[in-house]
């Protein structure tokens, strides 16, 4: 089997899993009493998160028993991202759990597949609006099987940006400084509540800019989708030497190419990096 055929098979499998998991999480919210809990005392988790994570991870293990898995709920060991020995699946069963718990539609199942630290295939499925973003490296990006491209934004003043905030609120000053710098130089802010969808919306032109500190499961699939849609993806601080840039989530920045560098400079200055 050629590499392109293999990755197409991987991508098809990831989409099928994401869609099935989407059916599960939608059914759980629509028909059952929502059961919630907290991890690390602050971060909301629902029973549906656990169910969807179990479904996805068990399906991957059954088909690819030698592959490793990094998932938000069942297997959140971030050291897996530094281990390049075998293929790695990166999973967020419900990105936007707070949205999910409050009945908002901005919820996504995110599944990425990486080899040697580089994401090769990614799917982000939004079950409540029936939108499926997908990309395979070198093959472009799609939304519901139709090709997508970034907005083509060239002026910051006319650009729409998105970001997010952590569950813990004990060190918000740096985030507020960045937000203040950006809000004065861009058109406006959107707070969607799902990093995966924020990035996919940059990919399809609904947003021009996204930045945040996130975990690999939040952005791995969507970052590839944005890249394959022609957006620029990187960081406004340095990636540690030897760490795969595709999976490093601190100070991530994704934007239309013409405005990426000006935004990077704004965020670096606001963060005191220069």
Residue ranges for the binding site for Mg(2+)?
72, 92, 94-95, 218
Cβ(36)–Cβ(44) below 8 Å: yes
Structure-token pair, residue 159 = 């650009």
Cβ(119)–Cβ(220) below 8 Å: yes
The annotated binding site is made up of 72, 92, 94-95, 218
The length of the chain is: 274
CB neighbour class for 87 (10 Å; exposed up to 12, middle 13-18, buried from 19): middle
Residue 209 has φ and ψ, to the nearest 5°, of -145, 145
Cβ(223)–Cβ(244) below 8 Å: no
Burial pattern 195-227, b for ≥16 Cβ within 10 A else e, equals bbbbbbbbbbbbbbbbbbbbbbbbbbbbbbbbb
């Amino acid at each position: 089997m050629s590499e392109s055929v293999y990755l197409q098979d991987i991508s098809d499998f990831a989409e099928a899993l994401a869609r099935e998991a989407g059916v599960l999480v939608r059914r759980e919210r629509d028909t059952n009493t929502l059961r919630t809990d907290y991890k690390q005392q602050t971060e909301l988790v629902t029973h549906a998160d656990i169910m969807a994570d179990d479904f996805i991870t068990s399906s991957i293990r059954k088909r690819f028993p030698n592959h490793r898995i990094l998932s938000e709920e069942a297997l959140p060991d971030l050291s897996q991202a530094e281990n390049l020995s075998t293929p790695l699946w990166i999973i967020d069963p419900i990105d936007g759990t707070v949205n999910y718990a409050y009945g908002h539609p901005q919820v996504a199942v995110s599944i990425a597949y990486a080899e040697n630290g580089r994401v090769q295939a990614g799917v982000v499925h939004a079950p409540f609006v029936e939108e499926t973003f997908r990309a395979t490296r070198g093959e472009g990006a799609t939304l519901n099987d139709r090709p997508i491209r970034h907005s083509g934004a060239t002026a910051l003043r006319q650009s729409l940006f998105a970001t997010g905030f952590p569950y813990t609120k004990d060190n918000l000053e740096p985030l507020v400084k960045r937000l203040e710098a950006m809000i004065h130089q861009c058109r406006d802010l959107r707070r969607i509540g799902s990093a995966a969808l924020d990035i996919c919306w940059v990919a399809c032109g609904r947003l021009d800019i996204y930045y945040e500190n996130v975990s690999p499961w939040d952005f791995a699939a969507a970052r590839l989708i944005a890249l394959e849609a022609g957006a620029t993806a990187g960081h406004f601080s340095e990636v540690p030497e030897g760490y795969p840039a595709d999976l490093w989530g601190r100070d991530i920045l994704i934007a239309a190419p013409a405005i990426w560098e000006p935004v990077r400079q704004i965020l670096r200055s606001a963060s005191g990096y220069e």
